[in-house]
């Protein structure tokens, strides 16, 4: 996986930096990359090639511009919470029939957004049981509240 970030100083793209990167495994807090060196792309952009990236794991990433100060010095990001669903669905196996079946289930089964913000985005399996759920909130991390009789989503086969 290629990790990219942007640094600026006083609103101007910061070039000529030698930023470092630290990557931690979210599950156990362990350092995966203790002090990697980022490469300059240009116009304030920098990258790091994370060769040990594992799609089933979640990571916290901290990029440190070192020579900048204040809010301009650090950039942070985290990979999404996809590890558990990928493992649950066994999506990494090499069987093309299983992958095709999974893709069909994701694209054609019922998908509903319920009120609230915990496990409120629900993808149903072929038998209408829950296949996957996600936590979806508004931009202020509040619960989703929809208008009466206006549930968001799609029915099976749409």
Q: Are 20 and 90 in contact (CB under 8 A)?
A: no
Q: Counting beta carbons within 10 angstroms of the beta carbon of residue 148, is it exposed (0 to 12), middle (13 to 18) or buried (19 or more)?
A: exposed
Q: Are 103 and 114 in contact (CB under 8 A)?
A: no
Q: What is the distance, to the nearest Å, from the Cα of residue 24 to the centroid of all Cα atoms in its chain?
A: 15
Over the range 45-56, which residues count as b (16 or more CB within 10 Å of their CB) and which as e? bbebebeeeeee
State if pTM tops 0.85.
Answer: no
Q: What is the pLDDT of residues 61-75, one digit of tens each?
A: 999 999 999 999 999
User: What are the extents of the domains in the chain?
Assistant: 2-78, 83-154
Q: Are 62 and 76 in contact (CB under 8 A)?
A: yes
Residue with tokens 């649950």: 88
Pairing of strands 12-13, 130-134: unpaired
Q: What is the pLDDT of residues 22-56, one digit of tens each?
A: 999 988 999 999 999 999 999 999 999 999 988 77
């Amino acid at each position: 996986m290629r990790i990219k970030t942007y640094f600026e100083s006083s609103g101007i793209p910061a070039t000529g930096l030698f930023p470092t990167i630290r990557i931690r495994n979210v599950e156990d807090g362990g350092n995966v990359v203790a002090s990697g060196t980022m490469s300059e792309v240009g116009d304030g952009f920098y990258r790091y090639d994370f060769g040990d990236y594992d799609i089933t794991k979640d990571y916290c990433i901290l990029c440190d511009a070192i020579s900048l100060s204040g809010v301009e010095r650090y950039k942070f990001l985290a990979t999404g919470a996809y590890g558990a669903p990928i493992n649950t669905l066994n999506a990494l196996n090499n069987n093309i029939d299983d992958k095709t079946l999974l893709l069909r289930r994701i694209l054609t089964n019922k998908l509903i957004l319920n009120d609230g913000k915990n496990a409120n985005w629900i993808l149903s399996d072929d038998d209408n049981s829950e296949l996957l759920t996600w936590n979806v909130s508004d931009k202020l991390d509040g619960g989703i509240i929809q208008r009466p009789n206006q549930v968001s989503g799609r029915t099976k086969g749409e």
